[in-house]
């Protein structure tokens, strides 16, 4: 039997023309944060960058679960969806089924051809491209994911595929916490654009591919934050197992107002843990609060718990434990007397900081998502410098006069 290289949902029509968003990557994090948001109003397709385990989870055999196949290695199924498990704060697990409209793989020439040549040529337009690449994949413009994204945009350019967004610009959204990730991807793609077209206009187009990248593509900086693992015993670890959605699971900075209009709906944003910022400094504040409040208190508590021979932060959810109550009281004091004043001294509002702490404090006490204190305290000096250093620097250089050495993590 010839393996299918792409599966398409009937909801996208047999050739996929209704698909309007593409995700490069099929990792659990992308599928539990970005894709559910896209799926609420768009019709996303997911292409695994290497291998085909995600694709094969839909196509089991020639019967195709009531679908059909053709000699072009395309399978058409009645519907496509994948599960995402969430362990709620009460310990119960809920499962959401996320609808998608195509799945494929870029891991083989035939699989890549199904996206670059066949699917794109049938689509009516594309609004968002999700990029599930990690920091390693963004180290160089020559990395495969950056080359794949460049080729995808080049094919869109050649096909003159429309973009329905307000300003007609395709939005690139990355799901890894690399600083200024959108700017970095833009730099790589701009360098690759010259290799693909030589900088010359293509026949039938007014400008070059490089011009298209500059004027028709928006590379958006972002921040992501959701603890995600995999469902126990799920095949190939494909099923995401997540904490409840944090208030800022996905923050996107859209200074040019290029995102699809539906993404601006605050009800949808709240439902999916999304924040849309229009000013870079607001995103910088979100990142700073994540480092200072969430990561800073996490590092602090891990050191204290390790000294008390508590090996996992799950111990914090034991309300009957005297040590848990004392540690949480310590963390509240650390936030209120050190981190909050430092943040406010650096221009961060009390309301924003308090909201971040309230959200993180609840997450910290989740009964199923604790981490090893040994793991957290590894490279402790470096982590303290990144996560607690900004608070210490702010307090030392400001008029704030508190005894910053009385808190163990700040004096480590």
* Mean pLDDT, residues 378-402: 85
Instruction: Please compute the mean of the pLDDT values over residues 345-361 and round it to a whole number.
Output: 96
| Distance (Å, whole) CA 314 – CA 326 | 15
Say which residues have a Cβ less than 8 Å from residue 73's Cβ, sequence separation at least 6. Answer: 2, 3, 4, 5, 6, 110, 114
**In whole angstroms, what is the distance from residue 293 CA to residue 283 CA?**
15
pLDDT for 5: 86
Dump pLDDT digits (tens) for 69-127.
444 567 888 889 999 999 999 999 999 999 999 999 998 899 999 999 889 999 999 99
Note the pLDDT tens digit of each residue in 257-271.
Answer: 999 999 999 999 999
Report the predicted TM-score, pTM, of the whole model to 2 decimal places: 0.91
Average pLDDT over residues 40-62: 86
Confidence category of residue 196, pLDDT binned at 50, 70, 90? confident
The string of DSSP codes covering 62-107 is TTGGG-EE-TTSEEEES-EEEEEEEE-TTS-EEEEEEEESEEEESS
208-215: average pLDDT: 93
Predicted local distance difference test score (pLDDT) of residue 13: 78
- Inform me whether the pLDDT recorded for 225 exceeds 80: yes
Euclidean distance between CA atoms 7 and 80, whole angstroms: 8
pLDDT of residue 402: 56
């Amino acid at each position: 039997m010839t393996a299918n290289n792409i599966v398409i949902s009937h909801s996208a029509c047999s050739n996929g023309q209704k698909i309007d968003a593409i995700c490069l990557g099929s990792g659990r994090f992308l599928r539990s944060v970005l894709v559910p948001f896209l799926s609420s109003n768009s019709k996303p397709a997911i292409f695994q960058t290497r291998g085909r385990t995600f694709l094969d989870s839909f196509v089991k055999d020639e019967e195709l679960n009531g679908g059909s196949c053709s000699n072009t290695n395309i399978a058409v199924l009645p519907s496509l969806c994948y599960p995402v498990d969430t362990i709620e704060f009460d310990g119960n697990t809920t499962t959401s089924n996320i609808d998608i409209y195509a799945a494929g793989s870029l891991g083989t020439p035939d699989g890549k051809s199904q996206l670059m040549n066949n699917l794109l040529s049938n689509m009516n337009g594309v609004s968002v491209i999700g990029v599930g690449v990690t920091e390693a994949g963004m180290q160089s413009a020559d990395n495969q994911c950056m080359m794949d994204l460049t080729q995808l945009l080049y094919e869109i350019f050649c096909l003159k595929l429309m973009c329905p967004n307000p300003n007609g610009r395709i939005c690139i959204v990355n799901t890894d916490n690399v600083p200024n990730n959108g700017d970095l991807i833009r730099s790589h793609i701009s360098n690759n654009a010259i290799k693909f077209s030589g900088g010359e206009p293509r026949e039938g187009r007014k400008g070059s591919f490089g011009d298209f990248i500059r004027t028709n593509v928006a590379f958006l900086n972002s921040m992501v934050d959701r603890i995600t693992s995999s469902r126990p015993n799920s095949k190939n670890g494909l099923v995401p197992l997540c904490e409840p959605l944090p208030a800022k699971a996905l923050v996107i900075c859209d200074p040019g107002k290029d995102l699809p209009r539906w993404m601006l709906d605050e009800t949808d944003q709240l439902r999916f843990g999304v924040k849309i910022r229009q000013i870079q400094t607001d995103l910088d504040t979100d990142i700073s609060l994540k480092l200072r409040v969430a990561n800073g208190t996490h590092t602090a508590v891990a050191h204290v718990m390790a000294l008390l021979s508590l090996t996992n932060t799950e111990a914090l959810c034991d309300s009957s434990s005297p040590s848990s109550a004392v540690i949480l009281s310590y963390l509240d004091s650390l936030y209120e007397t050190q981190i909050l004043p430092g943040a406010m001294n650096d221009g961060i509002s009390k309301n924003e900081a308090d909201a971040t702490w309230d959200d993180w404090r609840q997450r910290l006490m989740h009964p199923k998502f604790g981490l090893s204190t040994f793991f957290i305290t590894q490279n402790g000096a470096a982590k303290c410098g990144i996560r607690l250093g900004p608070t210490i620097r702010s307090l030392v250089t400001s008029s704030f006069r508190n005894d910053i050495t009385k808190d163990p993590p700040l004096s480590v």
